Amino acid sequence: MKKHDSIKGNKWDKEIEHRKSSVRSKVEHIFLIVKRQFGYSKTAYRGIAKNMNRFHFLFASANLVMCARAGRTSEFIAVG
């Protein structure tokens, strides 16, 4: 039997899940860019330091892609 939304506890659960899903969607978007645009879908173990260096580079590049898509290129172009 399905409960109605008028129950206080059910609204609370939906609000919590909505907040979690909004954060999750923002985070997972970056992983989509890394996987699809940069082709990094599987990890080969090359040592922790090398893998972490590659991850830092990939996610920094994804941040630049997101800034370029938003039209905020002046924030990462060196002036001077």
DSSP conformation class of 70: T
Which structure tokens are listed for 15?
């609000």
**Cβ pair 34, 62 in contact under 8 A:** yes
**Local confidence band at 14 (pLDDT 50, 70, 90 cut-offs):** confident
Decide if pLDDT at 3 tops 70: no
| Tokens coding 12 | 């609370």
pLDDT at residue 49, rounded to an integer: 92
pTM of the model: 0.62
pLDDT at 53: 92
